C-alpha cells in the first residue's frame, strides 16, 4: 500500500486492511510529521545525559523543576471508571494469550506491543486486530488440539503498551523514513478503538514504557492532546500509566505526573528494566555500580527499596495509582517443590508491596492472579485502592537512589552461566517471533535479557573476577561459556530441533550486544534488523 503521504512496505495478510485503512495511515502519518522531530531530539538528549552521568557517577533531582516538586497543590486527574487495579496480568497480544489473560480474574490486562512481544510485522498488525476483536467481544481461538477459547462474561480491562520512543516501525515509511513504533502502535489502536471504548462506557488506557525524562512525558501528552482533538474525543479521555523503569526517570517522578496530569493514571515500578538502566547508565564506573548476580538483586536491596518507596509516596501525594512490579514465575505442571518455593516468594513479594502502599501489582501467569489477589485483598478489603495512604514517613535522597554498591551478593560463575544461557535462549525465541519466553520456570522478556547481556558487558569492561573461581571475566571466557551452554541446549532439545532454530543468529546477536566495545543501547535494535 502506498500514497503520497506514506508507504506501507510490509507484506499484506488476512484482515490487515481492517487496520491499515487509508484513514488510519493518514492519522499515523500526521502524528509522525508533528512529533517525529521532537522524538529524535529527545533520543539524542538521552545520550548526552548518559555521558554526563558516566563522567560524574551521579544523577540528581532537577533544579529547574524544583517548583513542580515543591508545589503541594496540583493533582492528576481523578480515577475514572477503572479504580480497582489490585492485580494486573501482562503478556503479548496473540489470540490465545489475550483470551486467557482477559479471563484470568485480574483487573487489568497489559496487552504488550513492547518487551513481551517480537515486533514482526505479523505480530504488530495481528495484535491490533486481536485487540479490536476483544473490545467487540468477537475474539475466539481454537488450538491445534481442538480446544476452544472464548471470553467469559467478566473480563479484565484492556491496557495496551506501545513500544518505547527508541523503537522504529520499519514497515511504514513517512517521507521515506520509518515511523516511530510508539506512534504507530498508539495511533492505530487509538484511531480504531477510542470511540468504541467510549461507547462501551470506558476509555482508552495505556502503559507508557522506557521514558527517561519529563520532556518525554510532555511529548506523550502533546500526542494525546492532538489525537483527541483530531478525532473529536474529549480532552482527558486518554489515561496513561508510566513505567518508571529507568534511573533518570526515578529523579523526575513528580515532573512526569505533572506533564501528563490531565491524562495520568499513575506510575509503575518496572523493576527489571530499572536494574538494566542502573547497569547501562553507570556501566563505565567500575566497582561503584557493579551489581551481583541478577537473582541476588531483589526488591528489598537498598537502591530498589528507595525507588519503590519514593514511587508510592509521589503517586499518592498527587492522587495517582502506584503499581507494583512483576512476578515472573511460571508454575510447573510437574514439580510441586519448585512451585511451593516460588509461590512462597511471590506471596512475600506481594505482601510487601501491599503493605508499602501500592494500589496493585503485576503477574505474568494466570495461576499467580489468586496468589497476588489474596495479599492485596488483606490490605484493601472493599476499598478499590489505597491512594489515601500518603507515606509521610518516606524521605529518599539521590544517594539512596544510586546506592548500587550497597547491594549484597557476589558475582559468580553460576551467575555468568545464567546470563549467557538466558540471553541466548531469549534472543532465539525473540527471533522466532515469541517475545515472552518461559525459560527455567520464569517468564523472560526483553528486559530480563537486557540485564543478562549488560551485566556481562559491564563485567568484561571493568576487569571483574568471579568470586567463587577467581577467574577473570573476559570475552574469551564468555565465548567459552557460550560454547558450553549452547552444547547443553542442543543436547536438551535435540540436534534436529536445534538446527531448525535460529540459535547461531541468537548467539551472534548476544555476543554483539554483550561483548562489543560500543554498548548497544537496546539489544532489540540490532536484533530488529534480522526480522522480516
502 is catalytic: no
| 3-class DSSP assignment, residue 270 | coil
**Ramachandran quadrant class, 146 (left: phi over 0; alpha: psi -120 to 50; beta: rest):** left
**How far apart are the C-alpha atoms of 503 and 522, rounded to whole Å?**
20
Q: Which one, of 220, 420, 253, lies nearest residue 323 by Cα?
A: 253
Which grid cell sits at 405? 554498591
445 is catalytic: yes
CA 511 to chain centre: 23
Q: Please give the sequence-ordered ranges of beta strands (E in DSSP) within 366-515, or none if there are none.
A: 437-439, 442-444
Taking the CB of residue 511, how many other CB atoms lie within 10 A of it?
Answer: 19
Q: Out of 161, 285, 318, 453, pick the active-site residue.
A: 161
**How far apart are the C-alpha atoms of 473 and 460, rounded to whole Å?**
5
**How far apart are the C-alpha atoms of 257 and 214, rounded to whole Å?**
8
Phi, psi (rounded to 5 degrees) for 373: -55, -40
Which residue in this structure is represented by grid cell 467510549? 198
Phi, psi (rounded to 5 degrees) for 227: -60, -40
Which residue in this structure is represented by grid cell 501500592? 358
Q: Out of 349, 445, 453, 507, pick the active-site residue.
A: 445
Contact 234, 224 (CB under 8 A): no
Cα(first)–Cα(last) distance of the chain, in Å?
17
| 3-class DSSP assignment, residue 145 | coil
**How far apart are the C-alpha atoms of 406 and 394, rounded to whole Å?**
19
| 3-class DSSP assignment, residue 115 | coil
Q: Please give the sequence-ordered ranges of beta strands (E in DSSP) within 250-407, or none if there are none.
A: 264-269, 322-327, 360-363
Active site residues: 161, 445
Amino acid at each position: 500500500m502506498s500514497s503520497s503521504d506514506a508507504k506501507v512496505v510490509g507484506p499484506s495478510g488476512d484482515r490487515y486492511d481492517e487496520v491499515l485503512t487509508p484513514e488510519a495511515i493518514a492519522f499515523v502519518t500526521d502524528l509522525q510529521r508533528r512529533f517525529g522531530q521532537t522524538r529524535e531530539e529527545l533520543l539524542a538528549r538521552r545520550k548526552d545525559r548518559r555521558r554526563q552521568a558516566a563522567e560524574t557517577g551521579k544523577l540528581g533531582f532537577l533544579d529547574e523543576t524544583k517548583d513542580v516538586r515543591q508545589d503541594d497543590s496540583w493533582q492528576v486527574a481523578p480515577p475514572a471508571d477503572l479504580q480497582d487495579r489490585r492485580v494486573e496480568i501482562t503478556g503479548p497480544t496473540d489470540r490465545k494469550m489475550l483470551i486467557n489473560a482477559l479471563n484470568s480474574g485480574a483487573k487489568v490486562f497489559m496487552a504488550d506491543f513492547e518487551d513481551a512481544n517480537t515486533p514482526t510485522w505479523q505480530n504488530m498488525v495481528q495484535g491490533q486486530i486481536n485487540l479490536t476483536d476483544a473490545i467487540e467481544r468477537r475474539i475466539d481461538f481454537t488450538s491445534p488440539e481442538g480446544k476452544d477459547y472464548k471470553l467469559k462474561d467478566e473480563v479484565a480491562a484492556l491496557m495496551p503498551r506501545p513500544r518505547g520512543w527508541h523503537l522504529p516501525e520499519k514497515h511504514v515509511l513517512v517521507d521515506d523514513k520509518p515511523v516511530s513504533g510508539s506512534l504507530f502502535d498508539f495511533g492505530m489502536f487509538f484511531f480504531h478503538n477510542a470511540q468504541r471504548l467510549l461507547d462501551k462506557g470506558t476509555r482508552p488506557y495505556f502503559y507508557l514504557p522506557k521514558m527517561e525524562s519529563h520532556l518525554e512525558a510532555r511529548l506523550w501528552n502533546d500526542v494525546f492532546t492532538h489525537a483527541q482533538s483530531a478525532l473529536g474525543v474529549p480532552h482527558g479521555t486518554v489515561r496513561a500509566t508510566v513505567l518508571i523503569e529507568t534511573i533518570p526517570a526515578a529523579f523526575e517522578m513528580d515532573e512526569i505526573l505533572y506533564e501528563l496530569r490531565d491524562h495520568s493514571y499513575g506510575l509503575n515500578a518496572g523493576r527489571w528494566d530499572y536494574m538494566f538502566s542502573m547497569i547501562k547508565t553507570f556501566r563505565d564506573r567500575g566497582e561503584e555500580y557493579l551489581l551481583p548476580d541478577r537473582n541476588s538483586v531483589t526488591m528489598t536491596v537498598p537502591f530498589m527499596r528507595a525507588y519503590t518507596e519514593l514511587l508510592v509516596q509521589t503517586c499518592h501525594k498527587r492522587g495517582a495509582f502506584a503499581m507494583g512490579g512483576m512476578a515472573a514465575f511460571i508454575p510447573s505442571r510437574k514439580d510441586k517443590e519448585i512451585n511451593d518455593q516460588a509461590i512462597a516468594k511471590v506471596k512475600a513479594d506481594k505482601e510487601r508491596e501491599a503493605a508499602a502502599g501500592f494500589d496493585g501489582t503485576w503477574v505474568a501467569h494466570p495461576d499467580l492472579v489468586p496468589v497476588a489477589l489474596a495479599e492485596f485483598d488483606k490490605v484493601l478489603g472493599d476499598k478499590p485502592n489505597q491512594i489515601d495512604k500518603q507515606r509521610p514517613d518516606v524521605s529518599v535522597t539521590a544517594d539512596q537512589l544510586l546506592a548500587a554498591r550497597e547491594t549484597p551478593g557476589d558475582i559468580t560463575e553460576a551467575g555468568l552461566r545464567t546470563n549467557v544461557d538466558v540471553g541466548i535462549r531469549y534472543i532465539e525465541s525473540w527471533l522466532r517471533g515469541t517475545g515472552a519466553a518461559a525459560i527455567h520456570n520464569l517468564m523472560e522478556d526483553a528486559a530480563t535479557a537486557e540485564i543478562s547481556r549488560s551485566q556481562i558487558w559491564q563485567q568484561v569492561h571493568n576487569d571483574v573476577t568471579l568470586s567463587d573461581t577467581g577467574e577473570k571475566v573476559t570475552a574469551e571466557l564468555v565465548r567459552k561459556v557460550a560454547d558450553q551452554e549452547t552444547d547443553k541446549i542442543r543436547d536438551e532439545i535435540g540436534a534436529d530441533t536445534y538446527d531448525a532454530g535460529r540459535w547461531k543468529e541468537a548467539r551472534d546477536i548476544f555476543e554483539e550486544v554483550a561483548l562489543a566495545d560500543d554498548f548497544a543501547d537496546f539489544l532489540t535494535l540490532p536484533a530488529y534488523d534480522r526480522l522480516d
